[in-house]
Amino acid sequence: MKNYRIIVEKFVEGVLFSSSTITSLTVILIIVFLFREGIGLFHGSPLEKDFVIAVSKQNPIQELDAAKVKAIFNQDITNWSKVGGANDSIILFTTSDITNYYSEEELGSALEFLPKKLNDFIVSHPGAIMYVSGKSLPPGFNGHRIKIKDITIPGFVFGRQWYPTSEPIPSYGIWPMIIGTLMVTLGALLFAIPLGIATAIYMAEVADIRIRNILKPVIELLSGIPSVVFGFFGLIVIVPLIQQTFHLIVGETVLAGSIVLGIMALPTIITITEDSLRTIPQSLKEASLALGATRWQTLVRVVIPYAKSGISTAIILGIGRAIGETMAVLMVTGNASNIPHSFLVPARTIPATIAAELGEAPYGGMHFKALFALGIVLFLFTIVINFTVEFIKNSKKEIRS
């Protein structure tokens, strides 16, 4: 019997060890996959695979950055002298322009003469810049490919334009999304923190036990409502209310996202704060009351200061709940890739961008990698929040010891 019990215990130990190992490895593999895909954005040209930008061999330009190429194709730059070349007008050319210069008979029924015509075009138009598939260029092409500078981390983080599908050079600047994410999260906390802490104090120190037994399940039920339901509520109720109150053209704003996220963060803040307040030793309260302090003085000067680390943890976990939300924010913030200068304008957040665009991004392409790089930024935000929670917990232990 004893041997049987030992075997069962070893088996249970093995199951528990395997479960924890598999879970840890899964988390590590997810992080590795995230960084592998996202970091790839910074190790290659911003051009899509197999496409090139080429100019005549007579053109001295060898390298351009993405901003200059974009300006050239937007016709903001129309002369090569502006980018260090000769004083010659720039002629834009893409594959779709070929029929403007050559007939269908000259190109062939199956475009078999396309490579030769591309070569003829670059010879006869030395001021041209071509954006074509590299597979279409013939051997011995009388031009050279321009090297496009790689995307840099500072350019990605602090860039202000997000046009991942524009041609010939997409723009991957996430600064507006970072600001939008932080503003929506900040607004949510300004709404949720006072209301959440006040509710927790009421439940822990003021409310009758019967009222608490009603409020507690209701608040916990609130955390189980799907985020899309909150999004529908915000879209139908909060967005029109903001639009009418502030006389705006559209009601999908940072403020709408902040209110919806604030409601979603309330259960986390209330539950953790209330649990922290209820763990305070009864002897501390009795000592304060015995010294002549009133109930409210005890609450303000003893209970809340003692529970401040737990309250701080609740707030930070509330931030984590708000900063990673996707669908609800996507539905009520307008999803505009501009830097928001107030709470009454549309904005775009990092999670909403990933949710909206990942399904349309070609697997392995630059757009796909850029969205994973956005995931890395969001992951780093979460890591900072987690380390902050651990720091606060450790500080509480040191104070008690």
Given a cut of 90, whether residue 140 has pLDDT beyond it is: no
Same domain flag for 282 and 336: yes
Q: State pLDDT tens for residues 98-113.
A: 888 888 888 888 888 9
pTM for the full predicted model: 0.84
List the domain range (segments joined by +) for residue 120: 51-150
In a domain, 22, yes or no: no
Q: Is the pLDDT of residue 55 over 60?
A: yes
**Does any domain span residue 206?**
yes
CATH of the domain at 303: 1.10.3720.10
In the chain, the number of structural domains is 2
- pLDDT at position 399 is 47
Percent of the chain with pLDDT over 70: 97
In a shared domain, residues 89 and 234 = no
Q: What mean pLDDT do residues 84-94 have?
A: 90
Pair (214, 104) in one structural domain: no
The domain boundary, picked from 100, 135, 150, lies at 150
Same domain membership, residue 102 and residue 246: no
Average pLDDT for residues 81-106, to the nearest whole number? 89
Domain containing residue 125: CATH number = 3.40.190.10
User: Which of 93, 117, 150 delimits the end of a domain?
Assistant: 150
Answer yes or no: do 103 and 198 share one domain: no
19 in a domain, yes or no? no
Structural domain includes residue 156: no
| Same domain, residue pair 134 and 198 | no
Is residue 313 one of the residues assigned to a domain?
yes
Domain check: are 235 and 365 in the same one?
yes
Residue 14 lies inside a defined structural domain of this protein: no
Give 177-212 pLDDT, tens digit per residue.
999 999 998 899 899 999 999 999 999 888 888 888
**Which H, E and C letters describe the chain, residue by residue?**
CHHHHHHHHHHHHHHHHHHHHHHHHHHHHHHHHHHHHHHHHHCCCCCCCCEEEEEECCCCCCEECHHHHHHHHCCCCCEHHHHCCCCCECEEEEHHHHHHCCCHHHHCCCCCCHHHHHHHHHHHCCCEEEEEEHHHCCCCCCEEECEECCCCHHHHHHCCCEECCCCCCCEECCHHHHHHHHHHHHHHHHHHHHHHHHHHHHHHHHCCHHHHHHHHHHHHHHCCCCHHHHHHHHHHHHHHHHHHHHCCCCCCCHHHHHHHHHHHHHHHHHHHHHHHHHCCCHHHHHHHHHCCCCHHHHHHHHHHHHCHHHHHHHHHHHHHHHHCCCHHHHHHCECCCCCCCCCCCCECCHHHHHHHHHHHCCCCCHHHHHHHHHHHHHHHHHHHHHHHHHHHHHHHHHHHC
335 lies in a domain? yes
* 196 and 139 assigned to the same domain: no
